[in-house]
Structure 1
Amino acid sequence: MTNKPVVLQPEYDVVSSTYKANNATEIRPSHLEAIYSKVGAEITEEMAETAAEFLKEYASIKGGMRDSSWAALQYHWHMFASYCKERGYQPIPTQHSVLKGYIEYRATLVKWSSLRSDVWAINSINKASGFGSPGADPIILATVKRISEKQVAEGRSIKQATALTYHDLMIIIENLENTTSLKELRALTCIALSFNCMLRSSELLALKVSDIDFKDKMLTIRISKTNHSGKPEVLRLSQFVIDILHKYFKLIGWDYEDPKLQDKNLFQRISRYDRLIKNNAPITTDTLREQVYKFAFEMVKDNHINEPPFSTHSSRVGGCQMLWEKKATLEEIMKTGRWSSSEMAYRYGRGYELVESTMNDTFDKK
């Protein structure tokens, strides 16, 4: 049962993006949200114009997101907007019945992780426009939860990246630690560093020379997926990985104490002549996939019969599984992986149980 929409009383009208609440405060999405949340409120033309202005402002800064997150939001919103257009629904503000129907429809096409991304995008656009978060409704949350549990029970769980295990890593190191090829040593350094610190590919590709502290054996991560505070995170490096980094710097001809090098990208493109391309261009995700992980998989593929090749998350998954295997605490695993919740730590560590050994202890006992 729904309430019949009513026209807002004049004192609640939003006249334009230049409207001044109480003749003093510029109206913001929170003001419009307060108006819209009143039972039976009707969206006036002026409110719609104001919401459109809010969305323009939101788009101008890409919602404060990274390019990849902004692209994901646009994709998921476009899917919802297309669904609404085909059925004659108004996508924004998103009505409860429309959102619930969309979730149930999408559940027949995608996995629950994508459903959550759908709801995130719909919430983000509505919130930025001044129309609140329709996905926060208890019925919507319960619907997503029910679908998620049903899909898991049916075996439609998320496919995890093939783990690059500690055993794999030792084989790769044995093959490459004495190489004179810069491209091969770059691959080894990427993998060892990613495994040691359970780095996301975005974190690895963003590293600068200055982020490695050789003396104190520390790695600085300036911005990560779960940390946008501006305060960097600092992780301890194994001496074993520091040794590999020393070999990498020596082969390039870098002095890690040279102030002129500090702002250079740690992992750069390499020419066909096995030399750095002199424009400080960082490697891309495609390079990481093809020249690092695909290359490494060929060395250890006999360990992974009937498994897909490594992805750019394989070192992170393998590092997490090694910590579970060595009976590290959940708190230590979450801290090393920089997870704000335990969900991903459990998912990556599938098959292991919940503390004596740490990541660096294991490396340094090689």
Structure 2
Amino acid sequence: MDPLDQPVDPLRAPQDRHHLTDPAQCATALPLAKAIVARLERHARHAQGALAPETERALRKTSAAFTGWTTAQGLVALPATAETVATYVDALAAQERKPASVRQAVWAIATLHRAAGLPDLSKAEPVRLALKRMARSLGTRQRQAAPLGDHEVARILATAGTDLAAIRDVALVLTMRDLLARRSEVVALDLEDLSRADGGAGTALIRRSKTDQAGLGEVRWLSPETCLHLRRWIKAAGIEDGPVFRPVNKAGMVGTAALQGGEVSRILKRLAARAGLDPATISGHSARVGMAQDLVAGGADLAAVMQAGRWKSPTMPARYAERLLAKRGAVAGYYDKRG
């Protein structure tokens, strides 16, 4: 029998499933057929350094969740059948998981199978129909993170505190707003990426982003207020080179490594709570959402917002600012002319 015809028995897999990461690590985490192992190892060599850290983390998390579920159900994770994946989609939908999370799970399963030289199950009819069922039952509209706009930031500045971590946190949120930065972008900033400009303003080089995986880099403007808080943080932390935003421990000691992306969300939630905002509604996207809305409120069109936030499509900025854009729509214009 061809070894690829021999399914992997997930019930015999190691219990430490947090090591199920990208396809490379799956080769050693599961007792796979030899042919699949060889293909996964070959893929791992070719894929090394090709995926963004956020992508690797998503693949790790969703692959582990699927394997854990198949184990509990007595099903086979790799190779899986289209029916198994469809049942998994139905199970996630029954738990009312976010549609984006369900689609990400299917993407991870498909990625793992492609790496092993197996068919892409995301294109299979049972999986496609399960995703349609999910969309009909849950809808496809995602809950939007609450914005950190001008009003919210004013409250944060008034309540953030004055210790070293607070100085860093204020500089962080202002930088994220000016750059419309994703978490991965702001934690990747190095001191050499910052430059002074006229009038106390500055610029930042975003070396790599979700929409710039090749690392061509893009320069964005920083306000005088943001630069003031950045200089205050850099001086207080004694940073002379390397990462701009770093951990600060309870003793007030500044680390040498960059902040982790996940810590950014926790910082924003903590700032929001101190300011009397609901931290449950705040995410790592909140500064980005808030500035997108402020730009539209200030008269910027979608093309300008897309350029500022490095979006390749108008879908997300339009979604962030949809209520503001509605005021510029045909119906609003009609009633404005009627007076």
TM-score normalised per structure 2: 0.72
5+ long unaligned stretches in structure 2: 5-31, 329-339
**Counterpart secondary structure, 2:94:** coil
CA distance change for structure 1 residues 210 and 123 in 2, over 3 Å: closer, same or farther?
A: same
Aligned residue in 2 for 1:44? none
Aligned residue in 1 for 2:190? 208
Between stretches 110-119 and 283-292, larger displacement belongs to 283-292
2:61 to 47, 57, 75: 75
Aligned residue in 2 for 1:221? 206
What pairs with 1:176-215 in structure 2 (closer than 5 Å)?
181-215=163-197
**Counterpart secondary structure, 1:352:** helix
**Counterpart secondary structure, 1:189:** helix
Instruction: Give, in angstroms, the shift of residue 128 of structure 1.
Output: 0.7
1:98 to 69, 84, 91: 84
Mapped partners of 2:74, 2:163: distance in 1? 60
Residue 73 of structure 1 aligns with an amino acid whose one-letter code is L
CA distance change for structure 1 residues 128 and 174 in 2, over 3 Å: closer, same or farther?
A: same
- In the alignment of these two chains, the number of paired residues is 295
Aligned residue in 1 for 2:107? 120
Residue 93 of structure 2 aligns with an amino acid whose one-letter code is A
Mapped partners of 2:289, 2:120: distance in 1? 33
Mapped partners of 1:252, 1:183: distance in 2? 9
Instruction: Give, in angstroms, the shift of residue 320 of structure 1.
Output: 1.9
Aligned residue in 2 for 1:165? 149
Aligned residue in 1 for 2:246? 268
Instruction: Give, in angstroms, the shift of residue 239 of structure 1.
Output: 3.5
Residue 352 of structure 1 aligns with an amino acid whose one-letter code is L
Between stretches 158-167 and 61-70, larger displacement belongs to 61-70
Between stretches 226-235 and 287-296, larger displacement belongs to 287-296
Mapped partners of 2:120, 2:261: distance in 1? 33
Contact 1:268 1:280 in 2 (8 A): yes
Deviations 1:236-268 (A, max 9, x none): 2234423433444454566xxxxxx34x21122
Aligned residue in 2 for 1:330? 302
Greater share of residues in helix? 2
Question: Does residue 64 of the first structure (1) align with residue 68 of the second (2)?
Answer: no
Contact 1:180 1:251 in 2 (8 A): no
Mapped partners of 1:175, 1:204: distance in 2? 22
Aligned residue in 2 for 1:295? 271
Question: Which is higher, the Rg of structure 1 or of structure 2?
Answer: 1
Mapped partners of 1:174, 1:74: distance in 2? 39
What pairs with 1:236-275 in structure 2 (closer than 5 Å)?
236-252=221-237, 261-262=240-241, 264-270=242-248, 274=252
